[in-house]
Every structure is written in structure tokens, then in C-alpha cells.
């Protein structure tokens, strides 16, 4: 059976949940990866109001949609981040930001992630996608010189803050899928390995695979899938394109999305440099059967064009499935 295709609602949080469901249903999506943003899925209401979760499910059903995953990237970012500043104030609910005192923000964010696991279980989904934040991302340039002990403390801080969160995930039978992404504790191959080691490879902590972040770092997303095949808990289809020309740099030069002076940019799925067919063949090889979530991010293409366009592209890819018998089985003389 083809993998279900969902639409991640994070970039649609300015629209009411019911309107996003209407659009996704009309385009032919199988379901949504619902973000805990806007009015799409409110963790506090899901736990406090008896009819809230059923109301979300009723809206989905009315538009022929299902849900396999929810995401809480924005709050997750604040669990480990250093510094906590106005960037976080702009993305966090006021109940998490509070008075903005950094450690208070981190602790409230951690409690909200625990509640996200509980709300996910109540909704009937088994995977929460999100970010972890990082207390050491600001050291990535390695200058001023970074003592190894400082990096060690960063991974210890991650484990200390996330293990209690993961305990709740275990209690309610939900898994956390960390999106490997710059600014997180795991942002490439080796940092992913180290993050998994930091939490003892516990099953509650796995990965959300989003190849758009691999391309501009010159990482091989196909090899990553194979090497971390037991930890691929969710897949996002997001696309990026490299534009290195001797002027445009890999680090983005503090330039906004779609600026032609950037060294790379996000584009709608199917319009960039991600090797999608080898990725889908590898997903088949490792036995991934979960949803394929399209994450629309393209500052140069309207989302009402990009979302259905990406769906048509991905439909062709999910149709690639292994045959029931090997192609050379017909050559056998044992008949």
C-alpha cells in the first residue's frame, strides 16, 4: 500500500485549522502533520477540554483527512537553546515565554513537550516531530576557540533536559522524532550520532528525516537513511537548492529567503537539488511505511501553487514500490 501523503501545517498557521483542512482535502492529501501553532492544535486545550480532541478529529474526517503525526518545533526549540532572546519571544506562546527569564522559558517549554506527548496520545497518534534546541550551536564556528569540555557540557545539558521529557513519551507510548537541522543539538551526521549516544539510544528518541538541510551542507541523505534506518520515525519532504557562484556563501550572509545573493534557499518539493528517487528507493529498502509529509517552504512560489504541485510530484515517488518477486525470477529454470 502506498505511503500516505500529508501536509505539514506549520507554514499555514495564519489560516484557521478548518480552512487548511478544506484546502488539503480538495487537493487530495491523505492527511495532515498538524503543527501546535495558530489554532491548529493547542496542547493546553487538548488536555483541559473534554471535547477538543474529538473536535479536531471531526474536522479532519469531514474533509477526508487523517492524522498520524503532530509537531511542536517552536516550543521544542526553547528547551535547550542558549541564548533565549527576542527570537524566541516571537515564536513562543505567551504562556511559555512568561516574563522571558531564560531558565524559566526552558523549563516551561520542557513541561509543554511532556504535555505534547500526552496530547498526542489522546489524539491517537504515536509520533511527535520537533526540535530540541541547543546550548552549543552558537559555538559552531569554533572561534573564539571552543574547549572540548564545553561541547561535552552541551550534550550533557541536552540529555539532562530531554531524558525527563522522554520518560513521559515512554509512559504514554509516543515517540519523539527530532528534525536534524542547523541550530539543533543534531544538525548533521556526526552530531546525530552523538545526540543518540547522549540519551543512550533510547527508543523514545528518533529522527525526522528532512533532506533539505542535508543538501546545502553537502551531506548524503541516502547514506544517512541507511545508517540511521532504525531511527527514522518520520519523513518530511522539503526541498533546497544550492546557488554557489563564488559570491554566494554557504552560511547565507544574513540575507532573507529568495534573495539571489544567498548561497542556498528553500524551494518547493521537486524544484531543487534533493535526489528524491534514490531517497524513496532507500525508504523502501529500510522498510519505512509511515507518512510522507510535504513541508512547503518557498519564498518564490505561492503556497496555493506549491502545495498541490508538490503533492503531484510526491504521488509519483510513493508509487515506486518493490515488486512482489525479483526481476530475475522469471529466468529461473525451476518451474
Calculate the dihedral angle through the C-alpha atoms of 53, 56, 58, 64, rounding to the nearest 10 degrees.
-140
Of the candidates 136, 36, 43, 144, which has an alpha carbon nearest to the alpha carbon of residue 91? 36
pLDDT tens digit string along 51-85? Answer: 999 999 999 999 999 999 999 999 999 999 999 99
Domain spans of the chain, in order of start: 5-322
pLDDT tens digit string along 101-128? Answer: 999 999 999 999 999 999 999 999 999 9
Q: Is the pLDDT of residue 162 over 80?
A: yes
Of the candidates 312, 326, 227, which has an alpha carbon nearest to the alpha carbon of residue 276? 312
CA distances 273 to 104, 243, 269, 308, Å, are 41, 10, 9, 19
pLDDT tens digit string along 254-280? Answer: 999 999 999 999 999 999 999 999 999
Domain 5-322 has CATH 3.20.20.150: yes
Beta strand 66-71 with 127-130: parallel, antiparallel or unpaired?
parallel
Amino acid at each position: 500500500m502506498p505511503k500516505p501523503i500529508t501536509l505539514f501545517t506549520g507554514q499555514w498557521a495564519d489560516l484557521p485549522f478548518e480552512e487548511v483542512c478544506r484546502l488539503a482535502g480538495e487537493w487530495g492529501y491523505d492527511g495532515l502533520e498538524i503543527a501546535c501553532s495558530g489554532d491548529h492544535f493547542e496542547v493546553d486545550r487538548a488536555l483541559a477540554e473534554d471535547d477538543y480532541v474529538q473536535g479536531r478529529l471531526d474536522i479532519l474526517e469531514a474533509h477526508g483527512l487523517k492524522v498520524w503525526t503532530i509537531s511542536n518545533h517552536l516550543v521544542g526549540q526553547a528547551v535547550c537553546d542558549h541564548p533565549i532572546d527576542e527570537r524566541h519571544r516571537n515564536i513562543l506562546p505567551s504562556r511559555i515565554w512568561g516574563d522571558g527569564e531564560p531558565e524559566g522559558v526552558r523549563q516551561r517549554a520542557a513541561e509543554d513537550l511532556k504535555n505534547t506527548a500526552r496530547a498526542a496520545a489522546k489524539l491517537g497518534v504515536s509520533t511527535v516531530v520537533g526540535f530540541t534546541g541547543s546550548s552549543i550551536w552558537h559555538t559552531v564556528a569554533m572561534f573564539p576557540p571552543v574547549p572540548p569540555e564545553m561541547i561535552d557540557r552541551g550534550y550533557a545539558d541536552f540529555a539532562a533536559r530531554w531524558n525527563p521529557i522522554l520518560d513521559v513519551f515512554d509512559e504514554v507510548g509516543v515517540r519523539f522524532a527530532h528534525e536534524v537541522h542547523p541550530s539543533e543539538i543534531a544538525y548533521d551526521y556526526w552530531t546525530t550520532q552523538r545526540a543518540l549516544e547522549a540519551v543512550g539510544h533510547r527508543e523514545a528518541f528518533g529522527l525526522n528525516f528532512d533532506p533539505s538541510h542535508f543538501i546545502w551542507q553537502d551531506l548524503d541523505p541516502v547514506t544517512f537513511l541507511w545508517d540511521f534506518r532504525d531511527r527514522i520515525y518520520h519523513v518530511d519532504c522539503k526541498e533546497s537548492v544550492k546557488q554557489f557562484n563564488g559570491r554566494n556563501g554557504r552560511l547565507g550572509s544574513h540575507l532573507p529567503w529568495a534573495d539571489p545573493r544567498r548561497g542556498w534557499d528553500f524551494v518547493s518539493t521537486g524544484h531543487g537539488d534533493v535526489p528524491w528517487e534514490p531517497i524513496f528507493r532507500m525508504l523502501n529498502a529500510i522498510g519505512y511505511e509511515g507518512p510522507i509529509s510535504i513541508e512547503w517552504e518557498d519564498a518564490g512560489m505561492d503556497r496555493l501553487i506549491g502545495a498541490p504541485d508538490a503533492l503531484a510530484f510526491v504521488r509519483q515517488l510513493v508509487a515506486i514500490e518493490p515488486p512482489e518477486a525479483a526481476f530475475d525470477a522469471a529466468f529461473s529454470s525451476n518451474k
